[in-house]
Structure 1
Amino acid sequence: MTLDFAKAREAMVEQQIRPWEVLDTRVLNVLLRLPREAYVPAAHRALAYADVALPLAHGESMMKPVVEGRALQALSLDGSEDVLEIGTGSGFMAACLGRLARAVTTVERHADLAGTAGATLLAQGATNVSVVHADAFSWEPDRQFDAICVTGAVDTVPDRFLGWLRPGGRMFIVRGRLPALEAVLIRADVNGPRIESLFETDLAYLAGAAPVPAFAL
């Protein structure tokens, strides 16, 4: 039986996204229109709209749709922004960001994921998204950004990420230690970063950003 992805997409928005307090019309419209299945590996395509994180190569994963929706809403993009995404993965979040912002740079440390995501984004017409193959912990951008979306968790928020925000910019990031990680929105204020707690979730750590194991005798 062939899956009706359009119906599955609508059900995802109405039964998962909206009930999780994602009410921003622009965000909902993007999630209703973008074919998430195009970004999901073929082996898991039937689960493209399920309320689960989907596996990618190298132990990476796509975030749950509800987390994607909350992240997009929290960034409150109006179409004028230069956005940085850290952790391209499948390319789906970059595609969403591209529909909501002026331009998106997305950084992926695995060459094959970067290549596949870049090809999919191009095939789907996401011409304002640029994929960079690099490790975010050694890469140096040539500019700052209005918004940053980090798709993997961190133990503590890296200062280098904060330094990439323009004054007044904002960052969505998940921080802390399992089992209770905290999604936050950080605003680059003149008096220092302002942090707004959004929700608790679970998310795989970015490579190089996991807690250092405590030494026990």
Structure 2
Amino acid sequence: MTASDAHRLAMIAGQLKVNRVNDDRTLDAIKAIPREKFVPAAYRGVAYVDEDLPIATDRYLMEPMVFARLALEAGIGSGDTVLDVGCGTGYSTAVLARLAESVLAVESDPDLAKSAESKLAALGVDNAAVIQASLPHGAPDQAPFDVIFLNGAVEVDPGGLIAQLADGGRLVCVRKHKGTSRAHIVRKTDRVWGGRDLFDAYTPVLPGFEAAPAFEF
């Protein structure tokens, strides 16, 4: 067992299982993906710490506990199609691809999109693809999706993405609203959608989902 393997198991035991992530499918998917390969070289030694890690200017790899709980709450089945919004270097896509039938990852940063493609290919992930596009735009031409996973927080309603959900679909994200920051799930049924908060969570806001600056006199 390598040091990274040991750190990954320690992360699962000390960060995930103690925070209500006890689903075997979710844990096995996370256990199978080497998180250290998706962060810059300077951060590989701390790839499994319980905090967001920078991967580019104003972009982060989500904290393991928040990521794992969102993936669990999404209830991804083996026949589901997933839209992974803001995939960064592709870590989330690699994990979600082990849970779903297929994953389409959207990344707005061209360098991150190329990195994600390269890393997914190197790991042999053959049921995922990466496209470069605006994150709020998503991938309407490939919709509908059973699950939409946002790799970060939103300060505005992601209505354009909700419209891309299939009937029975779920969207998960971290929602910042009126001074609170909580994991959030949206469910769509018969063209009607409703959301609810899940647990307190913090992660940086994704590009394109920032609230407009408030006017100050």
Amino acid at match of 2:17: R
Please list the CA deviations of residues 10-57 of structure 1 after superposition, one character each: whole Å capped at 9, or x if unmatched: 000000001111111100111122111111211100011111110011
Alignment root-mean-square deviation, CA: 1.5
Distance 1:137 1:202 in 2: 20
Task: After the TM superposition, list the runs of 4 or more consecutive aligned residues in structure 1 that deviate by more than 6 angstroms.
Answer: none
Give the equivalent residue in structure 2 for 1:35.
Answer: 34
Give the equivalent residue in structure 1 for 2:144.
Answer: 144
Distance 2:191 2:132 in 1: 34
Q: Establish whether residue 128 from structure 1 lines up as the match of residue 158 from structure 2.
A: no
Aligned residues: 215
Contact in 2 for aligned 1:180/1:202 (Cα 8 Å): no
Please state how far the C-alpha of 1:208 moved relative to its aligned partner. Answer: 2.1
Give the equivalent residue in structure 2 for 1:216.
Answer: 216
Amino acid at match of 1:60: R
Distance 1:191 1:94 in 2: 27
Please list the CA deviations of residues 161-202 of structure 1 after superposition, one character each: whole Å capped at 9, or x if unmatched: 110000101010111247521211111012621223211111
Q: 1:151 is paired with a residue of what secondary structure?
A: strand
Q: 2:116 is paired with a residue of what secondary structure?
A: helix
- Name whichever of 170-179 and 49-58 sits farther off: 170-179
User: What fraction of aligned residue pairs are identical, expressed as a percent?
Assistant: 34
Give the equivalent residue in structure 2 for 1:104.
Answer: 103
Contact in 2 for aligned 1:98/1:126 (Cα 8 Å): yes
Q: 2:140 is paired with a residue of what secondary structure?
A: coil
Q: Establish whether residue 90 from structure 1 lines up as the match of residue 89 from structure 2.
A: yes
CA 1:167–1:14 in 2, change beyond 3 Å: closer, same or farther? same
Give the equivalent residue in structure 1 for 2:180.
Answer: 180
Please list the CA deviations of residues 79-125 of structure 1 after superposition, one character each: whole Å capped at 9, or x if unmatched: 10110011011210110100000000000000000001110011011
Distance 1:140 1:16 in 2: 33
Amino acid at match of 1:148: I
Please state how far the C-alpha of 1:156 moved relative to its aligned partner. Answer: 2.5
Structure 2 stretches lacking a partner, 5+ long: none
TM-score norm. by structure 2 comes to 0.94
Distance 1:176 1:50 in 2: 23
Please state how far the C-alpha of 1:158 moved relative to its aligned partner. Answer: 2.0
Give the equivalent residue in structure 1 for 2:61.
Answer: 62
Amino acid at match of 2:184: V
Please list the CA deviations of residues 118-174 of structure 1 after superposition, one character each: whole Å capped at 9, or x if unmatched: 100110111111000111234542121010001121112221111000010101011
Amino acid at match of 1:31: I
Distance 2:11 2:133 in 1: 32
